[in-house]
Amino acid sequence: MSLLSTYKQNNFIYTEKALNFGLRANYIFDNKYVAEVDGMLVASPRFSKENRWGFSPAVGLGWIISEEDFLKSVDKIDFLKLKASYGNTKTDYDDALANYYLYQNVYNVGGTFNYGDGIGQNNYMNVQTGNQNISWVQRNELNAGIETSLFNKVLFMEVNYFHSTRFDEIQKRTNTYPQFMGGTDFIAYENYAERVQQGFEADLRFTKQFGDFRLSADFNIINLVPIRTLIDELDYGPGHEYRQRQGKVNDAIWGLVADGLYTQDEIDKINDPLDQTVSKPAFGGVKAGDIKYVDLDNNNIIDENDTKAIGNTQPRFNYGLRLTIDYKNLSLFVFGAAETGYHRIMSNSYNWVYGEMKYPAYLVNRWAYNPALNVDTRATATYPRLTTKNNTNNFRNSTFWLTERDYFSIPAIQLTYAVPHKLLSSIFLKQFSVYARVDNLLTLSKDKYATLNVGSSPQLRMYNIGIKAGF
């Protein structure tokens, strides 16, 4: 039995407890074949008595191929193993919710109504409809991989594929009922939503001695794609599949598709009530030089119904490189990192500029047309027209403001000199070294903010010189 935590609220003290019983058994046959079985019996007070217990099984298999007779004679292969596992886990805590009594009806006293001679009377309001069938949030995980060591342990490689399905997530299916039914309190929570994470990770390590030189390099890469496979939402019908969240990535950026800047001819057609050749924006008045968007549903109106997934906020690939070069008593360490496959909307005050805000130098490339002053950037503009007001048409999520956040950085580099041991014996030191280190040395990216390390607070580049002594 495990005691998780204790709470005090409104002078009531209660202790949260959970029961966990685990079993693990593994077997290795002939140093080649490995099998492991795990089981976890769990119980939680968050569910009704009928659903309070859950069982989570898992199984793993491994095959050490390098122990087989047909590979023992291959001296270049030190170790080779195939492995796979599949298991189920259960949790009583959902990302957006932690409530004990979702399986019970809950009422509050609230509001009054008059009857008879006008005497007021309190009434009871249903603030939660219970669901006796609500149960565990579950996850099924599949992992498969290979490990190998080659050339007398000079090269090591590990590659793993993973597929994780999280299902029975707890939510209210508010889109199942029309709004005229009045609020959502009558809708019970239920196990419904589902999402999938899949990808791979690989690690490659190289270690080799070349006389007085020793080289060690460790490169790793992780790929992750999260997808919403089941979600409570409206069905927008044929031709509007782009609006559905289901089947899209969890971290999608939703916005409009930009189609250049309006010309004066297009503005004239928008202002003509009889003209239907140019879709009319619903985000306020527009002028020449404002951002034009694609009418995805082809209803001649550009509005929120024309938004789609235009990017994602989390990287699809993460890379890391740790490089160490030793020469006698000198050691150079370099750490490199990179992320690719994600985006952001340039929506801060550096990009969305109007009124009396500070105007960056790049705005010389804004849209402008003034024949009297011989100013015409209509063909070369990379920024919409300037305005003294917050432009509700221009300043909204769209591909116009979408930028890639891919970057490469060197978070750390360090040079170390270790004094030879024979020079230390006379001064009672076991080791003594001097080092110089730089953190946040370099960042390369198309994104100006990533390159300058600008975020919610200033980033620091740190220089360190130090010594390390052992007695």
Say yes or no: 188 and 41 in one domain: yes
Q: Which structural domain, as residue segments, surrounds residue 274? A: 241-310+344-396
Q: What is the dihedral of CA 42, 47, 49, 51, to 10 degrees?
A: -60
Say yes or no: 63 and 117 in one domain: yes
Determine how many CB atoms are found less than 10 A away from the CB of residue 153. 12
Per the CB < 8 A criterion, the answer to whether 254 and 304 are in contact is no
Three-class HEC string of 315-336: CCEEEEEEEEEEECCEEEEEEE
Q: What's residue 424's pLDDT?
A: 72
Residue closest to 298 by CA, chosen among 272, 268, 276, 266: 276
Q: Domain for residue 445, yes or no?
A: no
Residue closest to 303 by CA, chosen among 285, 282, 287: 282
Say yes or no: 304 and 369 in one domain: yes
Alpha-carbon 235 to chain mean position: 26
Q: Domain for residue 3, yes or no?
A: no
Q: Domain for residue 424, yes or no?
A: no
Q: What's residue 118's pLDDT?
A: 58
Say yes or no: 245 and 163 in one domain: no
Mean pLDDT by 10 residues, the chain (471 residues): 44 67 94 96 90 95 94 90 97 70 80 59 73 93 97 96 96 83 80 96 96 96 97 92 95 97 96 93 94 96 96 97 95 97 91 86 92 94 90 96 94 93 72 91 79 62 88 77
Say yes or no: 230 and 268 in one domain: no
Say yes or no: 170 and 250 in one domain: no
Q: What's residue 122's pLDDT?
A: 60
Residue closest to 172 by CA, chosen among 160, 181, 163: 181
Q: What's residue 359's pLDDT?
A: 86
Per the CB < 8 A criterion, the answer to whether 127 and 107 are in contact is yes
Say yes or no: 159 and 269 in one domain: no
Q: Domain for residue 161, yes or no?
A: yes
- Type of residue found at 93: Y
* β-strands 280-281, 301-302 pairing: parallel
pTM across the whole model: 0.84
d(CA 267, CA 363): 23
| Residues with Cβ within 8 Å of residue 356, at least 6 apart in sequence | none
Q: Domain for residue 323, yes or no?
A: no
Number of domains composing the chain: 2
d(CA 293, CA 256): 6
**β-bridge mates for residue 198, sequence order:** 163, 225
| Residues with Cβ within 8 Å of residue 375, at least 6 apart in sequence | 368, 369
- Of 371, 396, 421, the residue that ends a domain is 396
Three-class HEC string of 275-292: CCCCCEECCCCCCCCCEE
Say yes or no: 133 and 279 in one domain: no
Q: What's residue 224's pLDDT?
A: 97
Helix (H) or strand (E) holding 14: strand 12-29
Residue closest to 171 by CA, chosen among 185, 190, 184: 190
Say yes or no: 273 and 200 in one domain: no
Per the CB < 8 A criterion, the answer to whether 187 and 172 are in contact is yes
Alpha-carbon 186 to chain mean position: 33
Terminal C-alpha separation, the chain = 46
Say yes or no: 122 and 150 in one domain: yes
**β-bridge mates for residue 324, sequence order:** 216, 333
Say yes or no: 87 and 197 in one domain: yes
Q: What's residue 5's pLDDT?
A: 45
Per the CB < 8 A criterion, the answer to whether 447 and 311 are in contact is no
DSSP 304: G
Is residue 51 classed as helix, strand or coil in its secondary structure?
helix
- How would you label 391-428 residue by residue, b for 16+ Cβ within 10 Å and e otherwise? bebbbbbbbbbbbebbbbbbebbbebebbeeeebeeee
d(CA 54, CA 49): 11
Q: Domain for residue 95, yes or no?
A: yes
Q: Encoding tokens for residue 444?
A: 């390369």
Q: Domain for residue 33, yes or no?
A: yes
- Type of residue found at 323: L
